[in-house]
Amino acid sequence: MPTWLTVAEFAELAGITRQAAHAAAKMASRRRAWRGCFLSVRQVAGGRGGRSGTRYEVALSSLSEPLQAAYLDLYSSPPAPTCIGRETPIAPNQGARIEKRYRVIQEAIECEPRSVERKAEVLRAAKKWNIPARTIYRWIADLEASGGDVNALARKLPADAGQRRVWVSRPFDRAYLEAGYPATDLPELGEVVDQLIRRGWTSPAQRAGWKQVRRVVLTMFRLDLQSRGIELPATALALSQRRIVAAQDYRIVDIQANDRKRYDDMKPRIRRDNSKFAPMEQIVMDVKPLDCIVMRPDGSTTWPKMIGFMDTGTHRLFRHFVPLPPGEGVRQEHVAEAFIRMVTHPEWGFPQQVYRDNGTEFYIMDMVRDALAMLNAPGARTIINAKPYNGAAKPIESKFATLDRFVFSQMGGWAGGNRMNKKTQTVGMPPKPYSGSFEDFAREADERIEVFEHEPIGSGVFKGKSPQGCFAEHVAAGWRPVIADADALDAAFSRRETRRVDRGAVSIMGQLFRHPELPNGQTVTIAVPWRRGANPLANIPDFGWASLISDMPYLPGEIEGAVETARMQRRNDKSTQARRKAAPPIDIDAAHRAQVTILPTRAAPAPIMDVLASQAAQEMAAAKRAVKEVATLPTPAERRRAARERENELLERALGRK
């Protein structure tokens, strides 16, 4: 069977244009020679052009021997239709169209050209797909003419593909050319508009949206046209929304200059896998203002705050709720109290690393740097300060948002995400507070959070695991908390002072505090905790840190006062006796005698005058002694007070002997 070449293949093989190849085939059909050869041509139905819908094909055997040899070198076998895309330039997004058209002609191209079977398949496909048979024949012809390139079934790229046809806008370009202005200036005006659009998005106009940007751009473009001496009707100054919105990514410039929080949220970030942390290897701490209103015991209302500690290794959240007076915020004493509660909890304990917010209330954590260093390798960072306005880097921020949706919004007293919006529950009226007390609110919130922490996490590295489930896995693997003593933490979160023990008590801010082991007469170090309501501590020698007890006065006549006095005095006596044994007194008389024996012998100096021998001096001395004896006599009130003190002393001695 002879091999027939399409006009395109013949042109490529002969190194001529397609038009020249078509002319040569047409001349051969009229029995005219081409380059000394009489070509054998035929017309095949299904061509791409002409009213008859036919195309020319040239027999390979009628070509000269050099061309036949070149063909055999290029093609070892005749090309067959395949479903493989080649380099034919096509319009974008044509995959679905190519696939559909190939399914339509798939059965027909398997039949011989111009055969009855192909005609039957084409008619069947036309009926099945509701496509004209002529269109199907054209698709088959395109595919076969391309040598099986399925891209021939797609729409071809136009000749001016990739070239800009509209510079400013269709109305402007049309009006500009109709007004007689040179077309060569249109590209420059298009660049001016493009730059104005970009500048519009970088300006504050972007905050109002694309319409405001277009309004500003058209105003500035009108001024530019006036400076160039170009006058056009107002209807010609038009820009489409698509043209304006295409450059909206330039709005990032204005966002960076005026909304750093939003700009920071839009920054590219890495991902971290916190699931590799063990429990309490790192905690993230922050304060969450709650949008719930709660009643105080006095009938006033407050918006509580929650101090949260999130364990990044399990996604658990330790919470401490604080009711604050009006106009007051969370202070360092509240953070210290919350941290002590967490550290002494049997399921939490002491953390290895603290990731804290930049609020001043968290500066108190600097007091426990030494304790954190004991749980880490030398040189490890124990306290990390969060970057300002970088909420995305703190996982506790997203945890707070989740609790708002699933916990606090389900409780009474919820006033919505914007507590200033009084229309959340009622129109123009304040929201209804929580029905119970603050203690009831804290208890219910704890229970709801506990239940929520048993729910699987929906995304991220913890997806499919619940916080309590992760914690249970670590406990089963052998993890145990590091529990700290509350008194030791109170001593850490405190300011240090010194006080002298006077009669078994020390005075702190005008109030007396006692402890049975306080050494009377000594100076001790006092720690005044930041935690509100915590007793001060004293570093007692040979005893350590101990919590002091406030000295409560007894009522006159109370027997308990005498009992307590006797007990403290007995302890003081024992302490004095222990000191006597530890350091026996020096024999002063022996020391005196030793000092006397080593004194040098010297003569007494002669007196200037013997004053005592004067009679006047003796009379003055006698008068002074008489006045002094009268001044030292007790008054009646002093005598009565002395009698009562003797009675109390006798009673104390009697009780002490018992």
Q: How many Å apart are CA 466 and CA 445, to the nearest integer?
A: 18
pLDDT digits (tens, 9 = 90+) for 118-140: 989 999 999 988 999 999 999 99
pLDDT digits (tens, 9 = 90+) for 417-446: 666 665 555 566 677 888 888 999 999 999
Say which range, 83-92, 324-333, 386-395, 634-643, has the weakest mean pLDDT.
83-92
The residue assigned the tokens 């001529």 is 16
Q: What is the pTM assigned to this prediction?
A: 0.51
Specify whether the CB–CB gap between 291 and 414 falls below 8 A. Answer: yes
Extract the runs of DSSP E, i.e. beta strands, from 201-314.
283-289, 294-295, 301-302, 305-311
Among 22, 85, 90, which Cα is nearest to 58's?
22
Q: With H, G, I as helix, E, B as strand and everything else as coil, classify residue 289.
A: strand
In angstroms, the Cα distances linking 657 to 209, 432, 503, 563, 578 are 93, 65, 21, 11, 20
Specify whether the CB–CB gap between 549 and 527 falls below 8 A. Answer: no
Residues constituting the chain: 658
Q: Which domains, and CATH codes, for the chain?
A: 4-74 (no CATH), 170-264 (no CATH), 274-476 (3.30.420.10), 486-552 (no CATH)
Of the two residues 324 and 509, the one the predictor is more confident about is 324
In angstroms, the Cα distances linking 441 to 295, 330, 331, 333, 627 are 10, 18, 21, 22, 76
In angstroms, the Cα distances linking 587 to 23, 576, 591, 597, 599 are 143, 18, 6, 16, 19
Q: What is the 3-state secondary structure (H, E, C) of 604-658?
A: CCCCCCCCCCCHHHHHHHHHHHHHHHHHCCCCHHHHHHHHHHHHHHHHHHHHHHC
Confidence of residue 23 (pLDDT cuts 50, 70, 90): confident
Q: How many Å apart are CA 193 and CA 224, to the nearest integer?
A: 10
Confidence of residue 161 (pLDDT cuts 50, 70, 90): low
DSSP H helices in 75-209:
95-105, 116-129, 133-145, 170-178, 186-202
- Number of separate helices (H) and strands (E) present in the chain: 22, 17
